[in-house]
């Protein structure tokens, strides 16, 4: 399974519908990645949309337990 965790223009109108000036802007690497990922059947898009499945109960319980243990901050960056 591939999980896509970055933002993008997924689901937006094509460039021609936005503006003719948009043709002057090159496609981003993120946009190309989203287009490529859409070709696979088992990709989960974690960008700006609502998932089409419910959160599994074990994931909910693990999140609650982690919060109760104080894991409520972002992880540190790797240097």
Statement: residue 14 has pLDDT above 60:
no
Tens-place pLDDT, residues 33-77: 888 888 888 887 777 777 778 899 999 999 999 999 999 988 877
Domain limits of the chain? 2-52
- All residues at 6 or more sequence positions from 10 whose CB lies less than 8 Å from its CB, including other chains: 34, 45, 47, 48, 49
Tokens of 68: 């109760």
Tens-place pLDDT, residues 65-78: 999 999 998 887 77
> What pTM did the predictor assign?
0.39
Residues 44/4, Cβ–Cβ less than 8 Å = yes
Determine the pLDDT at residue 56: 93
């Amino acid at each position: 399974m591939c999980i896509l965790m970055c933002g993008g223009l997924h689901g937006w109108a094509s460039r021609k519908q936005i503006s003719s000036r948009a043709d002057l802007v090159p496609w981003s690497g993120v946009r190309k990645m989203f287009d490529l990922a859409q070709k696979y059947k088992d990709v989960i898009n974690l960008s700006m949309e609502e998932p089409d499945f419910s959160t599994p109960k074990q994931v909910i319980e693990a999140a609650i337990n982690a919060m109760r243990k104080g894991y409520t901050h972002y992880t540190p960056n790797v240097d």
